[in-house]
């Protein structure tokens, strides 16, 4: 028989957590509402400066610096601090850019002069759109990665994207609503998501995935030379559907501009019998993401517990 006192405590804890999430959401969403009243360029620059001051005061900053020490033992503490500060600026810009998405995304495939958005790999977008074959595009939490599916839509390329909602349910609801209006089909990363993606590929469609998230039961791989578990879903889907896989990323440029890059398809590692090498494929994804992060380290989210070390701090 259940303990009534314990049940009451559980309900109270759940209620307190929900109240905390609601309060945080009210503050965050109210700030974004205030920001929307400012001109886009000034608002985004303001939140960048503010985050660079507030971010270092948080516990996540300590985790970010620990990750940076492990990933870049050769760098000085000042260099690692600079990367962490750039990361906070990037994250603040990402949040504010949600508010001004219509103004930021000015990409026109037929424009003669580039605007705030430029695209590399246009031929790949068009080839994927016209091929009628299933494909997977993978990316990482670099720059404003949210712009990639919008760019695909500019070429009438429909990509079903797998994403992880924010932990705060109230913020997640707002974010999902904003994403649905501009980013096509979205699949929350939870039970049943793999089957939804598989159905899309089976119908000859495209799938988009973030591959740099921590995954407790994933394939053991290396990332920056450190052990990290990687979600094997992409490798499993390739094994099932024999589809091509394309890396894509977003790069922040000076002046509030963005470069979206779609690279050629990668060669999937195979075993001697021709089947997909699951572990080698997962490692290949990590190697690609690591090369991106090393090029622009301040544009990746170092405060994520990618190496599962938070409990050690």
Q: What does the DSSP assignment read for 261-290?
A: EEPPPPPPPB-TTS-B-HHHHHHHHHHHHH
Q: 219 is written with which tokens?
A: 């394939």
State the average pLDDT over residues 248-269.
Answer: 95
Q: What is the pLDDT of residues 217-230, one digit of tens each?
A: 889 999 999 999 99
What is the number of residues in the chain?
313
pLDDT band, residue 5 (cuts 50/70/90): low
| DSSP-derived pairing of the beta strands 244-253 and 226-230 | unpaired
The 10s digit of each residue's pLDDT in 70-110 is 999 999 999 999 999 999 999 999 988 888 887 888 887 77
- Angle of the 77-99 helix axis to the 59-71 helix axis, nearest 10: 120
From the centroid of its chain, how far is CA 101? 17
Give every CB contact of residue 224 below 8 A, 6+ residues apart in sequence. Answer: 70, 71, 72, 290, 293
Tell me: pLDDT of 31 over 80: no
Give the C-alpha separation, 29 to 123, whole Å.
39
| Distant-in-sequence, close-in-space partners of 91: CB < 8 Å, separation ≥ 6 | 51, 55, 301
| Closest to 262 (Cα-Cα) out of 119, 114, 129, 134 | 119
Of 21-35, 40-54, 60-74, 79-93, the least confident: 21-35
Q: Where are the domains of the chain?
A: 1-35, 106-300
**Res 181: pLDDT:** 47
Beta strand 186-188 pairing with 159-163 = parallel
- Bridge-based pairing of strands 159-163 and 206-210 is parallel
């Amino acid at each position: 028989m259940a303990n009534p006192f314990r049940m009451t405590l559980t309900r109270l804890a759940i209620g307190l957590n929900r109240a905390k999430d609601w309060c945080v959401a009210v503050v965050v969403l109210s700030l974004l509402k205030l920001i929307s009243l400012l001109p886009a360029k000034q608002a985004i620059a303001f939140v960048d400066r503010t985050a660079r001051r507030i971010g270092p005061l948080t516990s996540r900053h300590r985790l970010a610096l620990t990750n940076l020490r492990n990933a870049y033992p050769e760098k000085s503490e000042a260099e690692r601090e600079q990367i962490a500060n750039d990361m906070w600026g990037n994250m603040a810009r990402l949040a504010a850019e949600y508010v001004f998405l219509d103004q930021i995304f000015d990409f026109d495939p037929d424009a003669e002069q580039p605007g705030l958005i430029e695209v590399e790999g246009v031929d790949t977008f068009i080839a994927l759109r016209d091929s009628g074959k299933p494909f997977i595009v993978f990316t990482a939490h670099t720059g404003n990665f949210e712009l990639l599916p919008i760019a695909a839509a500019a070429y009438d390329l429909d990509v079903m994207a797998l994403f992880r909602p924010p932990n705060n349910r109230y913020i997640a609801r707002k974010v999902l609503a904003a994403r649905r209006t501009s980013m096509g089909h979205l699949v929350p990363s939870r039970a049943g998501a793999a089957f939804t993606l598989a159905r899309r590929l089976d119908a000859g469609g495209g799938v988009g995935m973030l591959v740099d998230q921590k995954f407790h039961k994933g394939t053991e791989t290396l990332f920056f030379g450190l052990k990290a578990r990687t979600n094997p879903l992409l490798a499993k889907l390739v094994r099932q559907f024999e589809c091509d896989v394309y890396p894509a990323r977003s790069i922040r440029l000076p002046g509030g501009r963005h470069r979206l890059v779609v690279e050629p398809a990668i060669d999937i590692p195979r075993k001697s019998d021709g089947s997909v090498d699951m572990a080698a494929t997962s490692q290949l994804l990590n190697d690609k993401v690591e090369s991106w992060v090393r090029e622009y380290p301040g544009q990746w989210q170092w405060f994520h517990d990618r190496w599962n070390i938070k409990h050690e701090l």
